[in-house]
Structure 1
């Protein structure tokens, strides 16, 4: 079944299910809504006592169960199947014909209702106005948010940022606040204001944190140098931030583990949502006791403990299980996984890679010649009118600051991803089409590509084996460098299936 944006079917199906009444935070946007949902969930969970938080994200990452979490833990198969069976039965009994995403969304809401979560954090699937999540009743919404809006899914949402914004701003609810993140396009602000005026919602501009000097008392002992060697990897340090919020009398200082400057905007959106709830003059959140359970200390802890895999996330891919003990570590690959899938998120990824390489090449007492290998593993969704050239141009060629004594080798592996469960319309761009773009953009790179008609099974392993050879020195040991898995969250999911403990890395 293809995408069919409408609320007609789900509104009917919704009436045939037990009433949903969980307090809900609703988040739309092109980029960043998943990060905002993760930050918000962690802040609520760190309260004293902690709230029980249900979160719904789409698409899922490794399996269908991880898009519905309770306190950051994916729901069990039993809980999921029981709720889904009830939704599917109602759908069949009344011949409604709901789409797979509509069934999934109502399954999530039924789980939250069954388990009586204190707060639900719900991410919009696509758009907003006609997205299945917009079936949530007005009286359940605590606060809504709109993260950065950019061009994406034009075939469904409109050809301009203005048209796309109108769709996404459709989550505005009467009498409820909508937090608007800092926007890359100034036209978004006016469109959202108009949407809020029409809906009777209160528009609140998000406040963006600033970077402050590192403080050992707040942030811990700082590790100064980033090392891109799998065996001795030193990850980039958290971002020390400060922000003044209406809900607290003094500025909040915290350590943000999510990497990239764009995460300052996402944190600002999440914190502005929290602050708005804590200063709600209508006292509509009194039953949750937010003001007594959320403090500066708990917010600091919530920020510090946030985990959001697949967004500038570093992992170590260990050598094969059959490797000898002496080979373990020597054959490991250092991998940076990021779901960048459009020009805006690709530009963010490119900027971060450049920053990491700059830190890697910082002041050193030993300026011996070095070779650092940068490999991209890429797969893209077929999503016209967005083109592979538009998505890949910010990444290739990489703009990396290089010292005289450092040589950077570039490799690119191109393949297809496994179609996500329940979304058969999602297709990969043929690797041959990607190869033409990469060869033109980055003629000096070594390129490996799967055949367009090759079986999906084994493609990722083949690409990784080729990349490992590119990273290996004469002695067979993997040298200094990083592999960037990007272009689609579905490819990141394929990679994560190789890491059994990824949800807890």
Structure 2
């Protein structure tokens, strides 16, 4: 097989002795984030353009993408389709990002598609295709996205629900062919990734809705800011696309106590599935609402029993997400004291995040994810002080513990036998805690 040919199903090039697909992907993190589509298109061409082999629902937004993707994929399965789902980041292994009919891709199949992507990336870089070369190589996110699209094509999925990584316009996922019904979903818009997406809500919204295809359908979550709505309507009008506004409530409760934002995500997912397939299935929505929990989203990972605290994981990563988390805590009061273990990335607004969360907490333990883009814990502490000066009491006590696993041990001690430890601020922090103290750093997305 040449590097430009799609692999034959059943081959297992990833089983090469001594080769680790996770390590190869992690090493690609060193090349950083470089938005653009030329490298990605060249890479996919080498792989046989697998993105053309299935329908897709493309999900963009600042918050709620993974939950919306997970819910939409589950609803599509309930309508009888074979379904792929692509989410990020992962919590333990990269293969978690590529899901087939609700389960992560098996490790052998994952190794096989990543090995083919590795070979295609080497060929693209050697030939200078798409502007790629040793100085501008295929990035980690491009590689794992290509692996997902290749896996979906090989597995014969009818439809894949694809989560964008950063923005939309220049995100590596924006290579889907857009054949009808070409459904795109906007879950929310908040100030994030401002160095790449812009510093205002309207600019960020525009970068995200650029994934909308001419004549397609744009599903809008409830409660979008006016700036985002205006941009969405403008872009949809220019492209003769249909707008579907999802309701705020799906008509069914969700299994995560207090997480009312998940009701909105489920309603958005149901609207996306209706736009994709036509018709509704309220029974499927109600059945899903009773059973599905999204890992790392207001998730109880350890239940307190009078001898140890309850441990919650929530990947809220911007001020909007923190406000939703605070709302969830108010609706489902945790055991006290509530100790928030917080770590964020350096492209966020930690002051606004902590202003939203801190009043709900008794103690803050400030740390840093094991990620090259992590905000140092000392700078996070400065943001706490600024937030409290600006927004005033109530002011929880705060302490700095740079290593996340040492920080978790300290938080457990502070929470005692009746309290709650809430790990939040980034899914990368949640992933660090799930991987264990001896694991290496996490991924960039």
Which bin holds the TM-score, normalised by the shorter protein?
A: 0.7 to 0.9
The answer to whether the aligner puts 1:25 opposite 2:57 as a matched pair is: yes
Matches within 5 A, 1:22-421: 22-47=54-79, 50-95=80-125, 96=132, 97-139=137-179, 142-209=182-249, 242=251, 254-258=252-256, 259-279=258-278, 295-316=281-302, 329-357=305-333, 372-383=336-347, 386-398=348-360, 410-419=362-371
Gaps of 5+ in 2: 1-30, 126-131, 438-445
2-structure distance, mates of 1:149, 1:270: 17
Q: TM-score, normalised to structure 2's length?
A: 0.81
Q: Deviations over 1:454-488 (max 9, x none)?
A: xxxxx33422332233233xxxxx12x21111111
- C-alpha change, 1:330 and 1:255, in structure 2 (3 Å) is closer
Q: Which residue of 2 aligns with 1:488?
A: 426
1-structure distance, mates of 2:262, 2:394: 32
Higher helix share: 2
Pairing partner for 2:382 from 425, 432, 436: 436
Question: Whose radius of gyration is greater, 1 or 2?
Answer: 1
Q: Provide the alpha-carbon RMSD of the alignment.
A: 2.3
- 8 Å contact kept, 2:340–2:423: yes
Gaps of 5+ in 1: 210-240, 243-253, 280-290, 319-328, 361-370, 400-409, 420-425, 452-458, 473-477, 500-505
- C-alpha change, 1:103 and 1:123, in structure 2 (3 Å) is same
Say which SS state the counterpart of residue 357 (structure 2) adopts.
Answer: coil
- C-alpha change, 1:255 and 1:81, in structure 2 (3 Å) is same
- C-alpha change, 1:188 and 1:471, in structure 2 (3 Å) is closer
Q: Deviations over 1:151-184 (max 9, x none)?
A: 1111001111111111101111122211111244
- 8 Å contact kept, 2:358–2:364: no
- 8 Å contact kept, 1:26–1:124: yes
Q: Deviations over 1:106-136 (max 9, x none)?
A: 1100000011112211001111111111111
- 8 Å contact kept, 1:413–1:467: yes
Pairing partner for 1:460 from 388, 395, 404: 404
**How far is the alpha carbon of 1:265 from its aligned partner?**
2.2
Q: TM-score, normalised to structure 1's length?
A: 0.72
2-structure distance, mates of 1:13, 1:462: 41
Say which SS state the counterpart of residue 179 (structure 2) adopts.
Answer: helix
Q: Which residue of 2 aligns with 1:10?
A: 40
2-structure distance, mates of 1:34, 1:262: 13
2-structure distance, mates of 1:98, 1:465: 38
- 8 Å contact kept, 2:319–2:356: yes
What is the number of equivalent residue pairs in this alignment? 389
1-structure distance, mates of 2:332, 2:303: 19
1-structure distance, mates of 2:230, 2:396: 44
- C-alpha change, 1:307 and 1:444, in structure 2 (3 Å) is closer
